Amino acid sequence: MPRVDRAVYSSGDPEKDEDDRDAARAFLEFIGVREVDEGVLIEKLLKERYQKWSFKPDMADLPRFVAFVESHSHRASLFSN
């Protein structure tokens, strides 16, 4: 999963470079870059291991999935398909 270092859009003088940082972040969002959190990582894992055409379940994933749903119940729909 390609990532962009946060320093790319958050470094520099906070007062002088704010417009540049905002522009950099807006561009990254425009091209589809998003922050990677546990939900994004789980979504990637589900796509890699739990699709109809590539079903390779791993029981070690279950505690991670349960912990995620317990703490982010509003995002349980990740597991619906």
pLDDT tens digits along 6-61? 776 676 666 667 787 788 888 888 988 877 889 989 998 999 999 888 898 999 99
Distance CA 70, CA 57 (A): 20
Q: What is the pLDDT of residues 8-22, one digit of tens each?
A: 667 666 666 778 778
> Rounded CA gap, 37 and 63, in Å?
17
Long-range CB contact pairs, 67-72, < 8 A, 24+? 68/38, 68/39, 68/42, 72/38, 72/39
The pLDDT of residue 14 is: 67
